[in-house]
Amino acid sequence: MARPALIVHGGAGSIPENERGDRQAAVERSRDEGWARIGAGALAAVVAAVRRMEDEPLLNAGIGACLNSDGEVELDAGVMEGDGLRVGAAACLRDVRHPIDLAVAVMEDGRHVLLAASGASRFAREHGLEMADPSLFITDRKRQQLLEGADTVGAVARDADGRIAVAVSTGGRTGKLPGRVGDSPIAGAGFYADDRFGGVCGTGQGEAYIRLGLARLMVVELQHGMDPASVAKGAVDHLAKTLRASGGVIVVGREGSPQAAFNTPAMPFAIAE
């Protein structure tokens, strides 16, 4: 038997002082929702946590997500199980109510890893997922146009059977070009899980995570025996030193407590174990 653990983050970036408490509370609500599902397994826990964050208008995922340069919301999500390295992801979504649900459906279908844009939406409809008018995701246009940073939300869990899973969801970067895809739906860049070693996910400047293959690199370091706290700190340092990039990471190892590190002014996160 392994000791269950869950860590949830609400994005790393420059968070307005008047929003810090509310964003932290949103992350803690999501942590609680995920932890209530840990008995059903690591995957159920991380999906529940991220799904809740897609409903929190102060977080950059789902409702309230940042706007691209055309003033529209385009959403990305990814999920991975460390057992069998199963992955599903979706990108450039405008009308799927919960992008994380689509990522799970892609993973369970098994034919592909990543679907994007209209083809992803078609897949969602064909699989009976909840759809939404794109206007649903815009709750405060002025605020969403001013969101700073690239604050993906994410969760990593380990269940009592030692299974590890990770889930991520994001609106990407404020003012991004239409069609831009960051690290969040790319396994090995923004997230990765392997039951033998651990699971990780990141938040920050997505292009840097892609160029470094940072999530996979972190799991390799866990494989080589580095402790999760050192892996988290080392990843953030690597971001800054190699590409002068900002961001944060969360890590769950095969054993021990979850860990987090960031080099931004803030990154709300919450742990259950």
Q: How would you classify the pairing of strands 86-93 and 114-116?
A: parallel
Beta bridge partners of 86: 81
Are 5 and 258 in contact by the 8 Å Cβ rule? The answer is: yes
Strand order in the sheet with 86-93: 114-116, 86-93, 75-81, 164-170, 153-158, 5-9, 269-272
Which residues, at least 6 apart from 225, have a Cβ–Cβ distance to it below 8 Å?
none
Q: Helix 42-53 crosses helix 99-109 at what angle (to 10 degrees)?
A: 150
Are 124 and 98 in contact by the 8 Å Cβ rule? The answer is: no
Q: List the alpha helices (DSSP H) in the chain.
A: 20-35, 42-53, 99-109, 117-126, 141-146, 206-212, 214-223, 228-243
Angle at CA of residue 114, ends 10 and 247, nearest 5°:
30
- Establish whether 152 is a catalytic residue: yes
Q: Which of 152, 174, 203, 264 is catalytic?
A: 152
Catalytic residues: 152
